[in-house]
Amino acid sequence: MNSKPSRIGRLTRRIATALRGFRHRKQPENIVAMGYNEMAGDYGSWALRHERHDRDKYTALLMEKLPQGSKLLELGCGPGDPTTKTLAAKYAVTANDISEGCLELARKNAPSAKFILSDMTALDFPTDSFDAVVAYYAFHHIPRDRYEPLIQNIAKWLRPGGIFMAAFYPYDVEHLVTEDWHGSTMFWSSYDEDQSLALINQAGLEVIEQSKESAIEEGKETTFLWVISQKSA
C-alpha cells in the first residue's frame, strides 16, 4: 500500500545524491560538511548507542602511553561524545571538525577542549605542537590523495616521541558518494591496508600497534585498521 510513496522517496534521494555529488565533485569536503550538519544530533545519539569495542580498546592503549596533561589534537571530532569528552578529561585537547553542527554539540560535551571549524587537510600548526594526534573514524571522509600530505603534516606537528593514532578503512576506494548514510549524502575514500601503513612509515613514524577490528553496524560488519605510531625521540 505504501510502496509507491517509498519508491518516490528513494528516487528523490537518489536524484538529490546525484545532484549533490555532481555539484561538489571537486569539493567533496562540502558533501561531508553538509551531511554531518544535517545529521549531527542523530549521529551523536547513534554513536552513543552503538558499541564499538575497538574505540574503547585503542583509547585505553593511547592512555597507557600518553601521560596526563599532554597536548593532544583530535582530527574530525564529530559531536564530541564519547571520544572528545573522554580525552579532554585527561589531556589538553584541541579538536577539529568540518561540521558546524557537530562542533556545536562537541562544545557542550567537552567544554574544556579548544575547537577549530575546518577541513582537517587545511589545518596548520607549528612544528612540535602536540604530544599526540588522533583520528577516530575520520580519514575515510577525505579524498585519499590528501592522505599523504596530511600524514606528513601530522608527523611535523608531533613532538619527538609523539604518538599518531588513527582508524583507517582498509579498502581501496577512490571516490564514493552514498545517498543515505544516517539519512544524509556522504563521501568516502580510502587506501588498502598496505598503502595506509606505507604512508605512515614514509612520514617517519614507526608503527608500534596495529590490528583490524570489526563490529556490526546496521546489520553489516564494518572493519577498521587501527594504527598507533610514534615519532622518533
Residue 185, pLDDT score: 87
Residue burial 138-173, b: 16+ Cβ < 10 Å; e: rest: bbbbbbbebbeebbebbbbbbbeebbbbbbbbbbee
pLDDT in tens, the chain (233 residues): 455 555 555 555 555 555 554 554 558 999 999 988 987 766 645 555 566 789 999 999 999 999 999 999 999 999 998 999 999 999 999 999 999 999 999 999 999 999 999 999 999 999 999 999 999 999 999 999 999 999 999 999 999 999 999 999 999 999 899 877 777 889 999 999 999 999 999 999 999 999 999 987 767 788 999 999 999 98
Residue 1, pLDDT score: 46
183 φψ region: left (φ > 0), alpha (ψ -120 to 50), beta (else): left
Integer Cα distance of 155 and 50 in angstroms: 32
Residue 65, C-alpha cell as written in the block: 602511553
- Domains, the chain, with CATH or none: 3-231 (3.40.50.150)
Number of helices and strands (H, E) in the chain? 7, 9
Integer Cα distance of 66 and 77 in angstroms: 19
